[in-house]
Structure 1
Amino acid sequence: MGILEQIRSLFRREPPSIAPAPTPAPTIATSAPQINERRGKERINAREGTRVLIIDDSKTIVTVLKKFLRSAGYETLEALDAESGLAQLHSHPPELIFLDIVLPGINGFAALRAIRRDPATRDIPVIMMSGNEQAMEQFFGTRIGADDFMKKPFSRYEVFFRIERLLDDDLIPRRAKPRIAESVTPTPSLT
Structure 2
Amino acid sequence: MGILEQLRALFRREEPSLPHPEALPELAAGERRTRQRVNAREGTQVLIIDDSKTIVTVLRKFLRSAGYETLEALDAESGLTQLQHHRPELIFLDIMLPGMNGFAALRAIRRDPRTRDIPVIMMSGNEQAMEQFFGTRIGADDFMKKPFSRHEVFFRIERLLDDHFVPRRAASRIVEPILQAVAGG
TM-score w.r.t. structure 2 length? Answer: 0.73
Does structure 1 conserve the Cα–Cα contact (< 8 Å) formed by 2:32 and 2:151? no
Segments of 5+ residues of structure 2 without an aligned counterpart are 1-30, 173-185
Per the alignment, do residues 70 and 79 of structure 1 end up closer, same or farther by CA in structure 2, a change over 3 Å counting?
same
Q: Work out whether 1:66 is the aligned partner of 2:60.
A: yes
Equivalent-residue separation in structure 1 for 2:120 and 2:112 (angstroms) = 14
C-alpha offsets along residues 40-81 of structure 1, whole Å, 9 cap, x if unaligned?
A: 211000000000000000000000000000000000000000
Does structure 1 conserve the Cα–Cα contact (< 8 Å) formed by 2:95 and 2:124? yes
Match of 2:125 in 1: 131
Does structure 1 conserve the Cα–Cα contact (< 8 Å) formed by 2:76 and 2:105? yes
Match of 1:40 in 2: 34
| Secondary structure of the corresponding residue to residue 73 of structure 1 | coil
1:1-191 matches, cutoff 5 A: 39-134=33-128, 135-140=130-135, 142=137, 144-177=138-171
C-alpha offsets along residues 133-171 of structure 1, whole Å, 9 cap, x if unaligned?
A: 3442331452x1000000000000000000000000000
Structure possessing the higher relative contact order (Cα contacts under 8 Å, 6 or more residues apart) = 2
CA RMSD of aligned residues (A): 1.6
Match of 1:19 in 2: none
TM-score w.r.t. structure 1 length? Answer: 0.71
Equivalent-residue separation in structure 1 for 2:164 and 2:96 (angstroms) = 33
Segments of 5+ residues of structure 1 without an aligned counterpart are 1-36, 179-191
Q: Report the structure, 1 or 2, having the larger helix content.
A: 2
Per the alignment, do residues 84 and 68 of structure 1 end up closer, same or farther by CA in structure 2, a change over 3 Å counting?
same
| Secondary structure of the corresponding residue to residue 47 of structure 1 | coil
User: How many residues in Structure 1 have an aligned counterpart in Structure 2?
Assistant: 141
Post-superposition, which runs of at least 4 consecutive aligned residues in structure 1 deviate over 6 A? none
